[in-house]
Structure 1
Amino acid sequence: MVAVPLTNDTVPGTGRAGPPQTGGRPTQRGRLLPYTLIAPAVVVLVVVLGWPILQLVVLSLQDYGPRSLFTGEAPFVGADNYLEVLGAPTFWWVLLRTAFVAAVTVGVLMTVGFALASLLLRVSHWVGLVLSVCLVLVWAMPMVSAVVIWQWMFQPQYGVLNWIGTQLQVFGDLSARDWFATPASALGVVLLLIVWKGLPFVVLTMYAALGQIPAEFYEAATIDKANAWQSFRYVTYPMLRPLLAILVVLEVIWSVNSFTPFWVLTQGGPDDATMTLGVFSYLTAFTRNDYGLGSTVAVLTVAVLAVFAVLYVRRLIASGEVK
């Protein structure tokens, strides 16, 4: 009986040739499969987002005013709109104020969101269920409805917040307190609303992520006599870093694009204290009736967010926090 040597093309125990081996290299069909799967989503994004953004860029290069609405003629002015916007001191103040709003909003959301997510892990099942339902209801409420409710709560004469504050007598008589009369209080109310509306998404996302951390990691930290801060620093935070990176980018974009709270509550006032890029773009386009300049501000807003997202993600990848 002749022994048959086993090779890569031989099935052990039979001596028959097996299927050809590819050496682990993907075939042409295998390389194209991921692109084929994401192609429908890419097409939808291009149609839904790409085309409007392209139209916005074209509009920002035109002198499009009230006359253009009737005649349909909008001459191209090139970069004149961008030079005018970038040369205006108001734009840079609005940009700094928008960055401040984003920094405060994201900082509070990450801090309070982590605290509430940790609380959900430690309460009983029914308490956690009630809190989760409350968060979902806040999340599901339309922004316009939420803003109207807050407008009623902070109404100077009939607002429920002023009534409660007056009854408690902690800050004196608040029966005629106008929260939107001063820049600091007006901005504070709007920021509080943005945080309140964005908190459910952060809390529920962090709650799901914290529930996936193996308990053995914390048991090992306890055996090593690690305190609460050390457990957070060496166990919780490293496990949450990829998620936190995504949340920061999403919440920055969401806070910068927040328009309804600022417009309905303050219309950018008082003294432009609550004017962000979204409000500035709207006022430029529909109050001054300069749609070309308004589109320019919108394009610059998109560009700022895109640059931030790219630089932030690249820094995270370079530092090894996200792979």
Structure 2
Amino acid sequence: MTSSPRGGRTSRGRAAARRTPLPIGLVLPATALLVLALGYPLVRQVFLSVQEFGLAQQFGQPPEWIGLGNYRELLTDPYLWAVVGRTVAFCFVNAGLTLGLGMGIAVLMARMSGWVRVAAQIGLLLAWATPVVAAMTIWQFLFDTEYGLVNWVLVELGGDYAGHSWLLHPLSFFMVATIVVVWMSVPFVVFTLYAALTQVSDDVLEAAEIDGAGPWQRFRHVVLPSIRPVLLVVLLLQLIWDLRVFTQIYTLQKAGGITRDTNLLGTYIYSLGIKGGEFGLAAAAAMFMLALTVVITAPYIRMMLKQEEDD
């Protein structure tokens, strides 16, 4: 069977459209800006990580090339591995709690009446829009040793928490930090998953219910597979954000936490560079953090790519 001239012209037209340079021309300026904004700092950091760059270099002394010396010093320091273990544990705990709470609230929001849903969305939006420093001021007041609302409530309930310091011990410090980080991250997860839940077909859910599937079975076998791509993206973003937490930890440390016992990678890099003046060592630690981020997120990126191929 031969193709008609009209069909041939259509195929040639589509091929010509695919070869047009217009799409590439439209993308190139944004790509160039992205490479300039992200590429130069990354390259600069790589060079800095293989140099001895301290306070003397800040005042004009040429940096000394030391190769992998900074990396050797870091990787042989037991304290770095303690910070890495602490950071990874904090990251996964926070990402898991955020995703679990966000999913639960999103499911509840899908079942709320109109005005209740709007009120819940406004509250979540206000919590999400609150600047980090302003939110941290409120949380510091709530957990204040002398005048904190948390201690007052616990004392009224009969607990021995008068003058209790929540930030002095690492375990309670990270409990407070987890509450703050999860509280600030949950609204994004709720809004994203709620939007995904609204796209699940009611006909499919009704068919599953007719077939005898209960609420949990419908959620597990119908809802979760339907929103799996969104879940993977949200989980990936949460892992990256929780791995790079800095402001919340640094603020709580300034409010009374013991820095050495509560450092995560973000605050550790800050203490090396800004506080200690070891900018080459801090750059090497930042490159190590980048590599750790790639290692942790690689499985989820692989799952996302596999999901795209299956679709």
The TM-score normalised by the length of structure 1 is 0.88
- SS in structure 1 opposite 2:66? coil
Q: Is residue 2:247 matched to residue 1:260?
A: yes
Structure 1 partner of 2:278 = 290
Determine which structure has greater relative contact order: mean sequence separation of CA pairs < 8 Å that are 6+ residues apart, divided by chain length: 2
2: distance between equivalents of 1:99 and 1:321? 30
Q: How far did 1:54 drift? A: 1.5
**Residue type of the alignment partner of 2:110:** L
- CA distance, structure 1, for counterparts of residue 3 and residue 303 of structure 2: 48
Structure 2: which amino acid aligns with 1:197? M
Structure 1 residue corresponding to 2:184, chosen from 197, 200, 223: 197
Q: 1:271 to 1:286 in 2, by over 3 A?
A: closer
**Residues 159 and 319 (structure 1 numbering): CA distance in 2 closer, same or farther, change over 3 Å?**
same
Q: How far 1:271 moved relative to its partner?
A: 6.8
Out of 196, 203, 208, the residue aligned to residue 216 of structure 1 is 203
Question: What's the counterpart of residue 293 of structure 2?
Answer: 305
What is the aligned counterpart of 1:186 among 173, 184, 190?
Answer: 173
1:118-152, Cα deviation, whole Å (9 max, x unpaired): 11111111111111011111111111111121111
Separation (CA, whole Å) in 2 of partners of 1:315 and 1:207:
22
- Counterpart residue type for residue 141 of structure 1: T
Matched, 1:99 2:88: yes
2:5 maps to which of 3, 6, 9: 9
Q: Equivalent of 1:48, from 29, 34, 37? A: 37
Post-superposition Cα deviations, 1:152-183, rounded to whole Å, max 9, x if no partner, equal 111000112212222233xx132311101111
**Contact 2:87–2:243, Cα closer than 8 Å, also in 1:** yes
Q: Which has the larger radius of gyration?
A: 1
Alpha-carbon spacing, 1:9–1:244, altered in 2? closer, same or farther (3 Å): same
Aligned with 1:59 (options 48, 60, 78): 48
Which residue does the alignment assign to 2:231?
Answer: 244
Q: What do residues 14-61 of structure 1 show as CA deviations (whole Å, max 9, x unaligned)?
A: xxxx98243686337546554444333322221222211211111111
Which is richer in helix? 2
CA RMSD of aligned residues (A): 2.3
1:266-319 C-alpha deviation (Å, 9 max, x unpaired): 259437332111011011112221111011111111122123333431244447
State the Cα distance separating 1:232 from its structure 2 match: 1.2
Give the aligned residue type for 1:57: V
Partner of 2:116: 127
Which of 68, 74, 77 is the aligned partner of 1:85? Answer: 74
Matched, 1:39 2:28: yes
- Give the 3-state SS of the residue equivalent to 1:179 in structure 2: coil
Which residue of structure 2 lines up, in the alignment, with residue 153 of structure 1?
142
Unaligned runs of 5+ residues in structure 2 are none
**Count of aligned positions:** 309
Contact 1:187 / 1:273 at 8 angstroms: preserved in 2?
no
Tell me, yes or no, if the aligned pair for 2:229 and 2:307 is still in contact at 8 Å. Answer: no
Counterparts of 1:29 and 1:224 in 2: how far apart (Å)? 46
Contact 1:241-1:321 at 8 Å conserved across structures: no
SS in structure 2 of the partner of residue 298 of structure 1: helix
Determine if the alignment matches structure 1 residue 20 to structure 2 residue 9: yes
Shift of 1:243: 0.6
Provide the rounded CA distance (Å) in 1 between the counterparts of 2:309 and 2:262: 35
- Structure-1 separation of matches of 2:20 and 2:241: 35
Residues 91 and 322 of structure 1, relative CA distance in 2, 3 Å threshold? farther
The SS at the match of 1:176 is coil
SS at structure 2 position matched to 1:71: coil
* Aligned amino acid, residue 237 of structure 2: L
CA distance in 1, matches of 2:92, 2:13: 47
The secondary structure found in structure 2 opposite 1:139 is: helix
What amino acid does structure 2 have at the position aligned with 1:300? F
1:116 Cα deviation after fit: 0.2
Overall identity of the aligned pairs, in %: 35
Q: 264, 274, 283: which is aligned to 2:262?
A: 274
The whole-number CA distance in structure 2 between the counterparts of 1:69 and 1:282 is 16
Runs of 4+ in 1 over 6 A off after TM superposition: 319-322
Report the residue type matching 1:233 in the other structure.
R
Residues 241 and 322, structure 1, Cα contact 8 Å, conserved in 2: no
* Compared CA separation, residues 37 and 227, structure 1 to 2 (3 A): farther
Amino acid aligned to 1:307? V
User: In 1, Cα distance between the equivalents of 2:78 and 2:150?
Assistant: 37
